[in-house]
Structure 1
């Protein structure tokens, strides 16, 4: 049976973005990129909320074939390295499911032909069927509101949290519902202060 795995970055004080809603204040370094590549490579389906889908589909489809940057030491160069190009290629190929009540994906969207929209009221039934098909994971990136709803319904199997060495003091909290978790793995990365904690979800709590 396929697992539903949530991937998110979070500050040490439990926020996924600052008070303005900007997640880029967290340490999204090469370790973060590699962890995302590992996760999407093990997936045979990606599940996203509508806002995350719109943001990702405006960026990721074009990274694979973007021209090489003029400055190989620039921030742009890391964004276009082989890890990020591999993420782009996998995103472009893997089937995507958007949890949304806003209607179909626009035909001009680069991912339109590889994306299905499922209404929020139907997502539990869709997951029950999807878990029985294939061998790879169903993975979630970003999509905080969507996966918190799935977590509250007992539908999330694992949480893979990249802990950024950042204390924001205030910001957008990652978790909106309580849950009991069991630590599976603590993963460190050479040259990075980020740590990935992988948890099995034992139970959501009311």
Structure 2
């Protein structure tokens, strides 16, 4: 059985982005890249919503040519360059939007997302979701998320929408707490209790 794992940055006051959707205010440091590098190294595939996908396909293919990219960023970029399968839930995205990830990207219509994610969970290998709060909130509300990895950064950002906005009461079991050297961030990992 595969698992669906959400990995997301959260401010201390519970937001994944600042006012107006500004992600530049998020308290992200290299520990965020380290954690995500570890997650993607074990993943069988990644799953995104359309907005996050556009950000990712616009960023990661350029990283190998960036002399300022960190080792963790280079590892993530290499994993994507290897052809890691990408699934995108979108009614608006087209193959032309996939650019350099065209061969490894599968676009799933929104009304098919629950069925497709249920099939992934029934199969082999884990599916990791980065960003894509609207999508993973819906999947969580429908019992299709198995783990939450919350990287909590040391900042209050007073955003517009709380990270768990619209999610029903959900029982969680603490699976781990991690700190990184030279970072004020902490990763809290939870298993979602289904049943």
User: Do both proteins adopt the same fold according to a TM-score greater than 0.5, normalized to the shorter chain?
Assistant: yes
Partner Cα separation in structure 2 for residue 191 and residue 47 of structure 1: 30
Q: Give yes or no for the alignment of 1:131 onto 2:126.
A: no
Among 109, 134, 139, the alignment partner of 2:99 is 109
Q: Which residue of 1 aligns with 2:59?
A: 59
Alignment length, in residue pairs? 192
C-alpha distance after superposition, 1:158-184 (max 9, x if no partner): 000000100123433111213221111
Q: Does structure 1 conserve the Cα–Cα contact (< 8 Å) formed by 2:57 and 2:98?
A: no
* Greater radius of gyration (CA): 1
Which shifted more, 155-164 or 14-23? 14-23
Tell me the TM-score normalized by structure 2.
Answer: 0.92
1:20 shift after superposition: 2.0
Q: Which residue of 2 aligns with 1:16?
A: 16
SS of the equivalent of 2:19 reads coil
1:120 shift after superposition: 1.3
Q: Which residue of 2 aligns with 1:73?
A: none
* Structure 1 moving runs of 4+ over 6 Å: none
Among 160, 179, 188, the alignment partner of 1:188 is 179
Partner Cα separation in structure 2 for residue 12 and residue 106 of structure 1: 38
Partner Cα separation in structure 2 for residue 27 and residue 172 of structure 1: 17
1:107 shift after superposition: 6.3
1:82 shift after superposition: 1.6
Among 168, 181, 201, the alignment partner of 2:192 is 201
Unpaired runs of 5+ in structure 2?
none
Which shifted more, 35-44 or 95-104? 95-104
Tell me the TM-score normalized by structure 1.
Answer: 0.88
Q: Which residue of 1 aligns with 2:142?
A: 153
Q: Give yes or no for the alignment of 1:140 onto 2:129.
A: yes
Partner Cα separation in structure 1 for residue 128 and residue 16 of structure 2: 18
Partner Cα separation in structure 2 for residue 20 and residue 107 of structure 1: 24
Unpaired runs of 5+ in structure 1?
69-76
| 1:8–1:186 Cα change, 3 Å | same
Partner Cα separation in structure 2 for residue 103 and residue 143 of structure 1: 14
Q: Which residue of 1 aligns with 2:76?
A: 87
Q: Which residue of 2 aligns with 1:165?
A: 154
C-alpha distance after superposition, 1:5-55 (max 9, x if no partner): 001000011001111211221221111110000000110110000010011
| 1:107–1:182 Cα change, 3 Å | closer
More strand by share: 1
Task: Give the root-mean-square deviation of aligned CA atoms.
Answer: 1.6
SS of the equivalent of 2:145 reads coil
Q: Does structure 1 conserve the Cα–Cα contact (< 8 Å) formed by 2:151 and 2:186?
A: yes
